[in-house]
Every structure is written in C-alpha cells, then in structure tokens.
Amino acid sequence: MTADIALEAHGIGKRYRRGRPWALRDVDLAIPAGSITALVGPNGAGKSTLIKGYVGFERPTEGRLLVAGVDPWKDRGAAVRRIGYVPQAASLYRELTVSDHLAMAARWRDSFDRRAAELRLDQLDIPLDARADELSGGQQAQVGLAIALGTRAPVLLLDEPLASLDPLARREFLHVMVDAVRAAGTTALLSSHVITDIEQACDRLLVLGGGRTLLDVSMEEARAVHRVEDGDGPIDAGRLVGRFPDQGGTLVALVRGESGPGRPATLEEVVLGHLASGRRTRDGEPRMDGEAAA
Amino acid sequence: MTAIPVRSRAAFDLRLAWRLHRFELIGFGVLLAFLVAAAIGVAGLLDATGYGRLCMGDAGAQPPACESIGRQFYGYQESLVPMIQGLLVAVPFLLGALVGAPLVARELERGTSRLAWSLAPSRVRWFVTRVLPAVVVTLVLALAAGLALDRLTGAIEPGTDAARSFSGFGSRGLVLAARVVFVLSIGVCLGSLLGRMLPALILTAVIGWVGLAGGSYVHSRWLATEAVISPTETGSPGDLFIDQRVKGPDGRILTWDETYAQLPPTDDGSVWPPAGYTLVSLVVPAERLPFVQAREVAALAGASLVFLGTGAAAVRRRRPG
C-alpha cells in the first residue's frame, strides 16, 4: 500500500453461491486518501458488496481488499477502527435515544468525539433525548452520519445513505458530510443512485456495472473527456463508450474525446454511457464493448 | 475524547441491556415476583396448618383435629400448589427462550447489528457484552423461582429437608436455574445462526425440550447405576426411588423376574413372596443430592457454554443481516 491510497482492491471477486453470477469480478481499485469518491451503478452492480467487503461484512471469494493497508478479513478489528460506516438504512436501535447511540459509539471507539457529534446534531436541531423511532428518516440518517464522523476514522464508507431521503434531506446530508470530510481530510466512498446529488459533493467517480469497474476517474476528467453524439450514425468503435436513450427516448452515444462533434456530456450521461457499455449479456458476463452493448 | 473506564463500559452495557429488554424484564420480573411471593405465601399457609408438626408422628399421639387439619393441608395442596408450582417452573423457561432467541436475532433482523458491528472492533466482545447481562439477569430470576420452589417443596413434604430431598429434582433449586440458562443459551445460539427471531424461538422450544428431556433420561439411567439398596420398601424420605427389589433369605438381592422364576406364585391365596423374603428398594440416597445436583449443573453449564460459544463463532463469521 502506498501512503496516499486509502482504499484498495486487488482482483476482487465475490460470488454469494457457487453457480450464481459474480456480484463483483476482477475489480482493481486505488482510492486516494483525502478524496470523496462517488460509487455509482445500477442495482446489483456490486456497490454494497464492495463497501461491505471493506467493513468486513462480506468475505471476498477471490482477491484482496485493503483499508488503509489493512485487510479486513485478516485483521477485522484494525480495519474497523479505521472506518466510519453509514449503512443503507440508518440501523439505529429504535428503543434507544440519540444520546444512547452516541454513548454506544463512545463505548466501542476510544477515538469517538462525542462532543463534536452532539454539536453536529444540535446544529441540525436533532434532540439528543429523542428516541430513534421518533426521528424522521433524514434525521436518522444524520444521526448515522454523526456517529460515523464522530469516530474520527480516516475512512468514511457510505452505503447509499441517500436512497430513502427527500431532496432537501439529501442536500443537507451531503452538505454536512462534505464539510466534515474536507475539514478532517477524511477519505470518503459514497455509493448512490442519485447522480445529480453526488456531482457537487464528490471529486472522483467510480462506476460499477455487472460487477466490474467501468470507470474510475476524477469528476473533472469524467466531464472533460466525454461527449454525446447522435446515436444513430456510424461512430468509430475506438471512441464509442456506449449508446443509451436520452430523456426524450432518442438514442444517443457517449464517446471519448475532449472535442469534436456533439456536445460535452453531463455526468449523468457519462454514467449512463458507461453502464450501457457494461451491460450484462445473457450468460451473466458483462460486455465491455460499447457497440455490442448498444 | 478519552478512553472510557472499564467500569463505565460495564455500566453502559448493563444500561443498554436494560433499555433493549426492559419490556421482557419488567414483565417477567413482575410475574416472577408475584409467583415467588405466592409460593412463599402458600408455603406459609401449609406450615400454619401444623399438619407436619402435629399429625405426622405416631398415630396414637395425634390430636383429634388431625382429620380437619389434614383436610385443610391437602386442600391447599390440591387447589393452590399445582398452579403455582406449574407456573413457577414454566415461566422461567419462557423467560429463557424469549430473552435468548431474540438477543442476537433481533439485531440481525432489524439491521442494528450493521451499526454495532461497524463500531465494535471485536464482534466476540460485542457478543459477550450483549449476552452476559442477559445470562446474569435470567439466572437471578430463575434462581429466585427455584428457591421459592424449594421452599414450597419443604412445606408440601413436612419433615423432609428440601435441601436433602430428591423430590421435584430438576424442577426446583439450582438445577432449575441451570436448565433455564441452558434454554437461553440454545436460543442465543439459534438466533445467531438463523438471524430470525420466530424460527429461532420455535426451534429453541423444540431443541430445549428435547435436550432437557433427553438429558434427564440419560441422567436417570446414570443415577440407576449409582443406586444402592435401602432396607425399606420405598427408601427413606428424600431418597430417589429407582426400583423395587426382593431380598432373599440368603441375603441375595433379586429382581422381581428372578424372584418369580425362583418362586412361582401359587393360586392357593398364600402370601407372596413367602416368609424369609423381604421387599427392599433401589435408591439414590438423599445424601447424594448435592453431588448429583452439582454434576447436573456442571453438565448444563458446559452445554450452555458450548451453545454460547457456537453463537459467538456464528456472530464472528456471519453477515450482519
């Protein structure tokens, strides 16, 4: 592991049962320390599997994961100490108050900064004496985030925390997360379906599709090197990433290139184009060729 | 942001256990407190009749009121004792199953294990902090029930020291508490393996019943090998009666089959077995009770540890729901 890489994946493969399709296959990653990476992909792309692998909840079938240089399946305790984790659903104990949850985090993590977590929740007007089941979904997500940030772990893993939140709660959540992560220099990996939300929050884009890495670049690069052209015309196979219908149902093509015909691609189009390129074939193996996928 | 002292952690673990299980604990605590009080009250009523003191000695020395005293004594025994005894035995087992099976399964079912396991560097330590308070509280409540049943047994059988009597063995005292903890540990284990409360609860009831019934059967067979001959037909008060035997004139101890084979009964109405042959009994003497009790408690504790260890291993390896 190099010092500036926080999360690594080396040839990761995960299959839940023998004979079933691979949830992840041949995934190699190196997420730089201090970055906020958006992990994007459709349902079943392997996003949650990858994040759960880092937390030690899923054991890779093949390959190796490293969290700040520690393999979660060889030394789970050390890996967990380096992680703040926000699960898909808030996972709070409905019988416990917010304050109880902070006490629980402090009980398990010596590094837990309870005052900072309380302050953060206070700023969001979340009462510490409220029971978890009295909080809204957005407030529960904020409590989960406050706990994860309070651990002061160098790596923050967020497994689709925005999925069940309304737009305002999503924005608030991301605002709090980005501010805290930037201030602490934490590395964050945020998986999400909602591309428009993560566009402002993240500085890297990682697209998973069919269990494979389809794109792993900075946000700037993602936008700079992709263009959208008419999808019906002939396109050089070397430039074509994938074809997909736009919002009006017209087939468009995402191509590689900083200039040329067409227009610059939006981040959503970049993601859609790469997902189209990685769509699974019938035998369960993802296609990597844009023409074939289209 | 300093490390929390160990005492504070233990206090937090207890508080967390209380918060998470307070409905079960309050419900069962109140019910058991009521039943314990009722058992002690009924034992007091039985004692107050004076039946054991006045009417169980030499028949000639008994006061004329013994008939009415006996009616009162056995009236209490028939009306109040079975219900209280039954509930005091059943409720702790229910407590063991209802606290044990959901202990980990509920965390897995509701997804709270995802938060807890992402915070706790050691899942085994997390498991211990969740299970230990439950085991201690269940043990204390079951022990209270067991001791109340000891007291009730002493009152039901006046003149018999309950601490030196096999009467009601297994369904009172320390053995009852150990059996309840055994059921709890099965529940914890199955809850950890299955990750679902209801299936874990149903299987706990089945496996717990089979385990206890099977264990009791094996133990009773074992006890039969340790039995000794008592010169009386049914043994002394408090002995564990195993079987009856016949003692021949030469001092040999015969089974009924052997005796029949030697002396086939006749149809002439004469007494059988004939003079010189006496009925004796095969018993485990009451003095052996502490040892037998300790052995069963040790076996149950060992089995409970195996189940809890299996539960811990499952928690260590499994997905958090």
Q: Is B186:B214 a contact under the CB 8 Å cutoff?
A: no
A258 has a pLDDT exceeding 90: no
The pLDDT of residue A69 = 92
Mean pLDDT of A87-112: 91
Q: Which residue has the tokens 């022990």?
A: B143
Of A81, A95, A114, the CB nearest to B121: A81
Using CA coordinates, name the residue in chain A closest to B124.
A77
- Would you call B114 and A91 a contact, using CB atoms and an 8 Å cutoff? yes
Nearest in space to A108 (alpha carbons), one of A83, A127, A72? A83
Residue A76 touches partner B, C-beta closer than 8 Å: yes
Strands A187-192, A36-40: pairing is parallel
Mean pLDDT rounded to a whole number for chain A: 87
List of residues 6+ apart from A44 with CB closer than 8 A = A23
Query: Model confidence over B266-305: pLDDT tens digits?
Result: 777 777 777 788 889 999 999 999 999 999 999 999 999 9
Using CA coordinates, name the residue in chain B closest to A95.
B20
Contacts of B17 in chain A (CB under 8 A): none
Distance CA B306, CA B295 (A): 17
Lowest mean pLDDT across A32-46, A238-252, B51-65: B51-65
Of B12, B22, B113, the CB nearest to A103: B12
A7: β partners: A31, A67
Residue B128 touches partner A, C-beta closer than 8 Å: no
What is the ipTM metric for this complex?
Answer: 0.87
Residue A82 touches partner B, C-beta closer than 8 Å: no
For the ranges A73-77, A236-240, B310-314, the one whose mean pLDDT is highest: B310-314
Using CA coordinates, name the residue in chain B closest to A117.
B1
Instruction: Assign domain A5-213 to a CATH class.
Output: alpha beta
* Buried b / exposed e along A256-284 (16+ C-beta atoms within 10 A): bbeeeebeebbbebbbbbbbbbbbbeeee
Sign for the pseudo-dihedral over CA of A185, A149, A213, A256: negative
Residue B9 touches partner A, C-beta closer than 8 Å: yes
A261: amino acid identity, one letter: P
Residue B210 touches partner A, C-beta closer than 8 Å: no
Q: Is A255:A239 a contact under the CB 8 Å cutoff?
A: yes
The pLDDT of residue A286 = 40
Using CA coordinates, name the residue in chain B closest to A54.
B118
- Would you call A93 and B12 a contact, using CB atoms and an 8 Å cutoff? no
Using CA coordinates, name the residue in chain B closest to A100.
B16
A284 has a pLDDT exceeding 60: no
Q: Is A76:A85 a contact under the CB 8 Å cutoff?
A: no
Q: Is B245:B281 a contact under the CB 8 Å cutoff?
A: yes
Strand order in the sheet with A240-245: A240-245, A251-256, A226-230, A263-264
Residue A122, number of CB atoms within 10 A of its CB: 12
A-B contacts at Cβ under 8 angstroms? 86
Query: Model confidence over B161-205: pLDDT tens digits?
Result: 888 889 888 889 999 999 999 999 999 999 999 999 999 999 999
Q: Is B249:B276 a contact under the CB 8 Å cutoff?
A: yes
Of B2, B113, B122, the CB nearest to A77: B122
Query: Model confidence over A24-69: pLDDT tens digits?
Result: 999 999 999 999 999 998 888 889 999 999 999 999 999 999 999 9
Query: Model confidence over A211-222: pLDDT tens digits?
Result: 888 999 999 999
- Name the strand (E) or helix (H) holding A36: strand A36-40
Query: Model confidence over B218-239: pLDDT tens digits?
Result: 999 999 999 999 888 877 888 8
The C-alpha of B113 sits at a distance from chain A's nearest C-alpha, in angstroms, of 8
Of A76, A107, A151, the CB nearest to B4: A107
Residue B115 touches partner A, C-beta closer than 8 Å: yes
Q: Would you list the domain boundaries of chain A?
A: 5-213, 225-293
| Best to test chain B binding among A16, A55, A57, A140 (most B CBs inside 10 Å) | A57
Of A52, A81, A91, the CB nearest to B115: A91
> B60 falls in which pLDDT band (50, 70, 90)?
low
List the 15-54 stretch of A: residues with Cβ below 8 A of B.
Answer: 52
Q: Is A79:A71 a contact under the CB 8 Å cutoff?
A: yes
- Would you call B320 and A76 a contact, using CB atoms and an 8 Å cutoff? no
Using CA coordinates, name the residue in chain A closest to B321.
A57
Query: Model confidence over B14-25: pLDDT tens digits?
Result: 888 888 888 888
- Would you call A85 and B126 a contact, using CB atoms and an 8 Å cutoff? no
B99 has a pLDDT exceeding 80: yes
Of B2, B22, B118, the CB nearest to A80: B118
The pLDDT of residue A1 = 46
Residue A184 touches partner B, C-beta closer than 8 Å: no
Nearest in space to A73 (alpha carbons), one of B315, B309, B320, B316? B316
- Would you call A91 and B112 a contact, using CB atoms and an 8 Å cutoff? yes
> A246 falls in which pLDDT band (50, 70, 90)?
confident
How many contiguous H segments (helices) and E segments (strands) does chain A have? 10, 13
- Would you call B20 and A104 a contact, using CB atoms and an 8 Å cutoff? no
